[in-house]
Amino acid sequence: MAHDLNHGAPVADLQDERPSVGQIADVFVRYANFTLGGGSATTAVIHGEIVGKRGWVSEEQFGLSFALGRLTPGTNLLAFCTGIGWGLRRWTGAIVALLAASIPCTLFVVIITALFAEWQENPFAQAAIKGAIAAAVAVTVKTVWTIAHPHFRPGNRIRAVLIGATAFALHTFAGISPIDVLLLAVVIGFLLSASS
């Protein structure tokens, strides 16, 4: 009997249809590693494969893993894949999905990083890298907005700006470490919810 991803409640007798470890590895190697366009694009591709095409999980199960993946620390996409794997075959599924979703792209990045160190000796490559790094600075600044904008809603904007600006100032001007600022954020978040 397969179980609901949320609280272990039975949802359907899917035991015979549970994908094998090999099938889970195959799907996550192919669709979680090589999609360009970031986590959202990859999630959409995986949705088409495991909900639409193969019917491994329901929309609700997929949605729960997606939502909790976004609330899990670290790389959201990997947490999402782990959650799906857990729903399919518990610990084995979770570990296989996590490894399959992370090892191939990691190897690719290691190779590119090693080559990058070699290319730095080449003057043409040096010039190209300078431009690429300027674009990366823009990407980093844009990511600030990507992270913050879901919380920049009407009625919440002043709170979002105050929290973001305070974190910026505490680290930049007061020299407080990021970890301490984040711990302070936990306390502030708790107090704000108690007062509202």
Partner 1 sequence: MNIGHLYLLLLKGTVTAFAGLASLPVIQESLVDHYHVLTNEQLNEAVVITRSSPGPVGLYVVSVGYFAGGLPGAVAGWLAMITPALLIIPMVHFVGRRMQHPRVRSVLQTIVITSAGLLLAAAIPLGRDGLTGAITWAIAVICFILLLTTKFDTLWMILGAALVSLTASSVGLMAYL
Residues 109-168 that bind partner 1 (CB under 8 A): 109-110, 112-114, 116-117, 123-124, 127-148, 150-151, 160, 163-168
Q: Give me the least distance between CB of 16 and partner 1, in Å please.
A: 23
Instruction: Tell me the C-alpha distance between 165 and 28, whole Å.
Output: 39
Q: Nearer Cβ to partner 1, position 16 or 111?
A: 111
* CB 1 to partner 1: min, Å: 16
- Between 22 and 123, CB nearer to partner 1: 123
The tokens of 156 are what? 């919440």
Look at residues 61, 56, 70, 46 and name the one whose alpha carbon lies nearest to residue 4: 61
**Shortest distance, CB of residue 23 to partner 1, whole angstroms?**
20
Interaction of residue 18 with partner 1, rule CB under 8 A: no
Amino acid of residue 142: K
44 in contact with partner 1 (CB under 8 A) = no
Q: What does each C-alpha distance from 106 to 66, 84, 110 come to in angstroms?
A: 22, 20, 6
Kindly tell me which residue out of 27, 42, 46, 100 binds partner 1, with binding defined by CB under 8 A.
42
Residue (23 or 95) nearer to partner 1, CB: 95
Alpha helices (runs of H) in the chain, residue ranges in sequence order: 21-32, 38-47, 59-71, 76-119, 123-148, 157-172, 178-195
Tell me how far, at minimum, the Cβ of 83 lies from partner 1, in Å.
4
Note whether 72 binds partner 1 by CB under 8 A: yes
Among 29, 50, 64, 88, binds partner 1 (CB under 8 A): 64
DSSP state of 49: I
Closest CA to 88 of 174, 3, 160, 180: 3
